[in-house]
């Protein structure tokens, strides 16, 4: 999550060990879940034309691990989007495409790979956008589902974990662009995001 509406104050220098409280999902549990999702996708898309479309930057570790847990041929593509406006912890729902698909997806079986579905606004936009490109099928694979904050219903075909309404970082998820490299998913201490 990028910090939006910056005040110009000096940026907080993160302390990876001190800033994260509870570990919500351990690295070993993420590995096991990614293997399970990869096996399901392998079975469901056997003999088909699977393209994984990931959304930078948060989904990068999940995408990298998930594609290697799939044992049928897949193609991948990457998009990057950002929300207009909003605050540091809220998305606005108005999405701007920073990087579009590199190749057409018409006639392909597409699975969007996301790290987290929070309000659902980003994915709601992306689903409409990608449907317009005429894929044969379009499904959603999300590592984390935070239903407490949902503003728009999203069909999640492949779900890793349902999590409570806590500010989580790690395994791709950021605060102020940091913490993405943590190998687990942890809860950011409130005093850290209270500083900005
Ligand atoms: C995160 C995440 C999703 C989106 C989910 O991305 O990767 O794309 O927010 O939020 P929503 O369901 O409320 O729309 P973010 O905009 O933080 O960018 P990032 O992936 O670069 O961290």
Q: What is the pLDDT of residues 60-80, one digit of tens each?
A: 999 999 999 999 999 999 999
Closest to 144 measured CA to CA, from 61, 79, 69: 61
Q: CB neighbours (10 Å) of residue 99?
A: 12
For residue 149, being part of any structural domain is answered with yes
Task: Give the pLDDT of residue 10.
Answer: 58
pLDDT tens for residues 21-47?
Answer: 999 999 999 999 999 999 999 999 999
As a whole number of angstroms, the distance between CA 113 and CA 96 comes to 18
Number of compact structural domains in the chain: 1
Atom of ligand 1 nearest to the CA of 180: 22
- Residue 4 above 90 pLDDT? no
Task: Give the pLDDT of residue 40.
Answer: 98
* Smallest CA separation from ligand 1 atom 3, residue: 116
- 69 CA from centroid of ligand 1 (Å): 23
Q: Average pLDDT for residues 146-161, to the nearest whole number?
A: 96
Task: Give the pLDDT of residue 5.
Answer: 47
In CATH, what number is assigned to the domain containing residue 59? Answer: 3.40.50.2020
As a whole number of angstroms, the distance between CA 53 and CA 105 comes to 10
Cβ–ligand 1 contact at 116 (below 6 Å): yes
For residue 179, being part of any structural domain is answered with no
Cβ–ligand 1 contact at 143 (below 6 Å): no
- Residue 6 above 60 pLDDT? no
Is 106 a residue of the active site?
no
Task: Give the pLDDT of residue 193.
Answer: 84
Q: CB neighbours (10 Å) of residue 51?
A: 21
SS3 87: coil
Cβ–ligand 1 contact at 1 (below 6 Å): yes
- 47 CA from centroid of ligand 1 (Å): 32
For residue 11, being part of any structural domain is answered with no
Cβ–ligand 1 contact at 180 (below 6 Å): no
Q: Which domain covers residue 136, as residue numbers?
A: 27-166
For residue 36, being part of any structural domain is answered with yes
Closest to 62 measured CA to CA, from 30, 101, 28, 24: 30
* Smallest CA separation from ligand 1 atom 6, residue: 1
Question: For the chain, what percent of residues have pLDDT higher than 90?
Answer: 81
Cβ–ligand 1 contact at 145 (below 6 Å): no
Task: Give the pLDDT of residue 43.
Answer: 98
């Amino acid at each position: 999550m990028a910090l939006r509406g910056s005040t110009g104050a000096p940026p907080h220098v993160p302390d990876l060990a001190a800033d994260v409280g509870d570990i919500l999902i351990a690295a070993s549990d993420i590995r096991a879940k990614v293997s399970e999702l990869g096996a399901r996708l392998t079975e469901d898309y056997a003999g088909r034309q699977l393209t994984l479309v990931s959304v930078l930057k948060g989904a990068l570790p999940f995408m990298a691990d998930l594609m290697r847990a799939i044992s049928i041929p897949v193609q991948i593509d990457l998009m990057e989007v950002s929300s207009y406006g909003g605050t540091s912890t809220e998305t606005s729902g108005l999405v701007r495409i920073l990087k579009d698909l590199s190749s057409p997806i018409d006639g392909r079986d597409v699975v969007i790979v996301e790290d987290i579905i929070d309000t659902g606004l980003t994915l709601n936009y992306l689903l409409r956008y990608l449907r317009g490109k005429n894929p044969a099928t379009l499904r959603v694979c999300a590592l984390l589902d935070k239903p407490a904050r949902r503003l728009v219903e999203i069909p999640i075909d492949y779900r890793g974990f349902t999590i409570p309404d806590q500010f989580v970082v790690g395994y791709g998820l950021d605060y102020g662009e940091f913490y993405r490299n943590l190998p687990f998913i942890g809860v950011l201490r409130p005093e850290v995001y209270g500083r900005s």
